[in-house]
């Protein structure tokens, strides 16, 4: 067997090596998408995401937003049009400008992607990178060895976790899961009951959302809400995972999906309120990018008697996503 000259020559061939690594990971992402019944290639996802986030855009505007070449965007757009996921918006008299938007099929594909593809890839890549250390080239080698042992699509499948969106038929899980952990550690306050007993009226209808995480063989094991508290402002609240799901990383999987959902909903401020007793939860929040914030405590901390921790997540302008 010939030696790996790309790896041997280190920094000289770093661009080629990173491209090779990207192609390898994207092939695994494509397999995850195919398993979900989607014909989407990983290179399509940034185009779909930017159109979904910002509305109808021209090819030039998409290229500018993604900071990639216009010919590359044109190729992806052409394929997405062939697939029926993107279409030209017919408006105005200037035929030189052809804004593109998601078709109903494209919107449906994005919903499936965010539920069945993106959270799994996000979590699998995070786990892949979690134990890295040392010089950058050593880290690249570690990623390559780890993918030799277990490809990304296999890692994603092994999670055995999936995200569900809110419906009235699963509302009882929102109440029961949260009531279990709150009563075990604290006591249910009136503000808890108001939200848990009326999720549609208190969370969904005012512009928020509730997500659930389902584990193979266990059913729904966790839930978390995004409560809209002002223009572009959301509280990440009522996050709980059943004790029966411990060790499955269901909480991290769910939290990553909720952060991504907040970005999709246009969150400019995302915050949460907690208590020091919830050490494991606070550690997870810190791991995924929340920081302790005195202003959040001052403005919102009085909502709960038990609140002595307030944290803010600084959403990037481009939102959050996995390796697609």
pLDDT in tens, 144-194: 999 999 999 999 999 999 999 999 999 999 999 999 999 988 888 998 999
Confidence at residue 313, expressed as pLDDT on a 0 to 100 scale? 94
Q: Mean of the pLDDT values across residues 245-263? A: 92
Verify that 138 and 249 share a domain, yes or no: no
Residues 232-246 as b or e (16 or more Cβ within 10 Å = b): eebbbbbbbbbeebe
CATH code of the domain containing 257? 3.40.630.30
Identify whether 323 is part of a domain: no
**Mean pLDDT on 85-103:** 80
Show which of 128, 158, 188 is a domain's final residue.
158
Residues 9 and 119 in one domain: yes
Q: At residue 320, does pLDDT exceed 70?
A: no
Provide the CA 220 distance to its chain's centre, in angstroms.
18
Spatial separation of the C-alpha atoms in residues 52 and 45, rounded to whole Å? 10
Identify whether residues 250 and 190 lie together within a single domain: yes
Distance (Å, rounded) from C-alpha 281 to C-alpha 145? 31
Q: Which domain-ending residue is among 119, 142, 158?
A: 158
For residues 115, 255, 124, 7, the Cα torsion angle rounded to the nearest 10 degrees is 120
Mean pLDDT, rounded, for 285-293: 94
Residue 189 neighbours by CB under 8 Å, 6+ apart: 304, 305, 306
Same domain (yes/no): 64, 194 = no
Sheet holding 309-313, edge to edge: 161-165, 209-215, 219-230, 233-241, 269-274, 309-313, 290-292
Q: pTM of the entire structure? A: 0.83
Task: Evaluate whether residue 324 is within a structural domain.
Answer: no
Q: Are 261 and 203 in contact (CB under 8 A)?
A: no
Q: Do both 186 and 271 map to the same domain?
A: yes
Q: Is the pLDDT of residue 26 over 70?
A: yes
Q: Look at residues 158, 193, 213 and tell me which one is the last residue of a structural domain.
A: 158
For residues 136 and 241, membership in a common domain is answered with no
Section 46-73 average pLDDT: 93
pLDDT at 315 over 80: no
Confidence check: pLDDT of 98 > 90: no
Domains in the chain: how many in total? 2
Inside any domain, residue 79: yes
Burial class of residue 306, CB neighbours in 10 A (0-12, 13-18, 19+): middle
- Residue 314 confidence (pLDDT): 76
Q: State residue 323's pLDDT score.
A: 33
SS3 272: strand
> Does the structure show a pLDDT above 60 at 265?
yes
Q: How large is the average pLDDT for residues 84-91? A: 87
Q: Do residue 30 and residue 136 come from a single domain? A: yes
Helices (H), ranges, 2-117 = 5-8, 14-35, 45-54, 59-66, 70-82, 104-112
Q: What is the mean pLDDT of residues 55-79?
A: 94
Average pLDDT on 125-154 reads: 91
Q: What is the pLDDT of residue 92?
A: 58
Q: What angle do CA 95, 99, 100 make, to 5 degrees?
A: 130
Which domain does 170 fall in, by range? 161-313
Which band of pLDDT confidence, cut at 50, 70 and 90, is reported for residue 322? very low
% of residues, the chain, pLDDT over 90: 76
Same domain, 119 and 180: no
How large is the average pLDDT for residues 238-264? 92
Mean pLDDT value of segment 26-38: 95
11: phi then psi, degrees, rounded to nearest 5: -65, -30
**Whether residues 178 and 292 fall in one domain:** yes
CATH number at residue 147: 1.10.10.10
Angle, CA 84 vertex, CA 78 and CA 90 arms, to 5°:
80
Average pLDDT of the chain is: 90
Q: Are 106 and 48 in contact (CB under 8 A)?
A: yes
Question: How far, in Å, CA of 306 to CA of 303, rounded?
Answer: 9
pLDDT at 2: 80
Q: How far is CA 36 from CA 33, 100, 116, 218, 248, in A?
A: 5, 25, 7, 20, 21
């Amino acid at each position: 067997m010939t030696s790996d000259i790309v790896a041997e020559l280190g920094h000289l061939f770093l661009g080629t090596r990173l491209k090779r690594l990207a192609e390898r990971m994207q092939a695994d992402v494509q397999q995850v998408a195919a398993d979900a019944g989607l014909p989407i290639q990983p290179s399509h996802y940034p185009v779909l995401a930017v159109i979904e986030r910002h509305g109808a855009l021209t090819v030039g505007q998409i290229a500018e937003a993604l900071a990639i070449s216009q010919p590359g965007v044109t190729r992806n757009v052409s394929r997405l049009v062939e697939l029926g996921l993107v279409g030209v918006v017919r408006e105005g008299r200037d035929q030189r400008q052809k804004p593109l938007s998601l078709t109903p099929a494209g919107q449906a594909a994005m919903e499936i992607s965010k539920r069945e593809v993106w959270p799994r890839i996000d979590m699998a890549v995070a786990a892949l990178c979690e134990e890295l250390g040392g010089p950058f080239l050593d880290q690249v080698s570690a990623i390559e060895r780890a993918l030799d042992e277990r490809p990304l699509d296999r890692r994603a499948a092994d999670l055995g976790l999936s995200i569900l969106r809110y419906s009235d038929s699963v509302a009882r899980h929102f109440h029961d899961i949260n009531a279990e952990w709150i009563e075990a550690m604290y006591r249910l306050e009136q503000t808890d009951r108001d939200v848990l007993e009326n999720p549609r009226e208190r969370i969904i209808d005012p512009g928020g959302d509730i997500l659930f995480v389902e584990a193979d063989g266990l059913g729904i094991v966790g839930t978390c809400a995004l409560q809209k508290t002002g223009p572009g402002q959301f509280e990440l609240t009522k996050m709980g995972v059943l004790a029966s799901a411990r060790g499955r990383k269901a909480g991290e999987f769910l939290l990553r999906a909720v952060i991504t959902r907040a970005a999709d909903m246009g969150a400019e401020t995302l915050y949460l309120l907690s208590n020091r007793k919830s050490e494991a939860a606070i550690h997870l929040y810190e791991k995924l990018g929340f920081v302790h914030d005195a202003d959040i405590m001052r403005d919102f901390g009085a909502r709960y008697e038990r609140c002595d921790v307030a944290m803010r997540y600084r959403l990037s302008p481009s939102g959050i996503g996995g390796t697609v």
